[in-house]
Amino acid sequence: MEDDLVVSEENKYIGKWTDQRCYQVYKYALLGLSDSEIAEEMKINPATFRKWKERESGFADALDSGRRVAVADVRNAMQKAALGYYYYEEVVHCFKGKIFKTKVKKYAPPNVWIGAKILALREPKNWSETHRVEVTNTNININKLDFGDFTDEELLALKKIGLNQLARNAGNS
C-alpha cells in the first residue's frame, strides 16, 4: 500500500497504512470532521485518504460507522432539547465556615426553535417555513384602436382572430 501514498511537495502529509488507521478514522468521524479535516489530522494527503476509502475494506466502514454514531448523538441531543429535560447540577454552599456540595435537580425547558426545526425536517409539507409560490406572468398589450371604420364582416373576422389567439395562448400560461 506504500506505493499508493501521496506526499505533498512540502512533505506536510506523511503517513503509511496500518490497521490502526481504521480506529483513527472512526474517532475523527465521531467528532464530525470532514474528509479533508480528517486527512489533515491523520497527516495524510487528501488523495491518499480517498484511495484508502476505496481500497481498504475496513477504512470506509469505520468512517461511516463513526459518522452514523455522531449523527445519532446529535439527533438524540436535539430531541432531548426540543422536549425539555431534567438534569442534576452540583451546587457549592458555604454554611458556618464549611463547604458543602449538593446535587440539585434542575429543568431545561423545551427549545421551541429546535422543535420547529425537527418537525420542518421530518414533515416539510406540514411544518416547513418555506412556502412555494407559483407565479404566472401574463403580458397584455392594450392598444387603442378605432373600430369605427371597420365593416361588420371585418369586425367579426377580428373577433374570430382574437378568440383563436386567446384559445391558442391559454395553454401556455
Is there a single domain that holds both residue 75 and residue 27? yes
* DSSP secondary structure code for residue 129 in this structure: S
Of 53, 81, 109, at which residue does a domain stop?
A: 81
Strands in the chain per DSSP E: 85-95, 98-108
Is there a single domain that holds both residue 71 and residue 88? no
Structure confidence at residue 137 (pLDDT):
78
**Residue among 1, 73, 51 at smallest CA distance from 65:** 73
Q: pLDDT digits over 39-65, tens only? A: 999 999 999 999 999 999 899 999 999
Give the residues across from 21 on adjacent strands. none
What's the maximum distance between 2 C-alpha atoms anywhere in the chain? 112
The answer on pLDDT for 6 being more than 70 is no
Of 81, 110, 140, at which residue does a domain stop?
A: 81
Q: In terms of pLDDT, which residue wins out, 8 or 133?
A: 133
Residue 98 identity:
K
Number of domains in the chain: 2
Residue 39 domain boundaries: 2-81
The Cα–Cα gap between 146 and 33 comes to 74
Is there a single domain that holds both residue 63 and residue 13? yes
The Cα–Cα gap between 79 and 85 comes to 10
Per the domain annotation, does 151 fall within a domain?
Answer: no
Is there a single domain that holds both residue 37 and residue 11? yes
**What H or E segment, with its residue span, contains residue 72?**
helix 57-83
Is there a single domain that holds both residue 96 and residue 76? no
Per the domain annotation, does 16 fall within a domain?
Answer: yes
Per the domain annotation, does 34 fall within a domain?
Answer: yes
Structure confidence at residue 4 (pLDDT):
47
For 2, residues 6+ apart whose C-beta sits below 8 A from its C-beta are: 16, 17
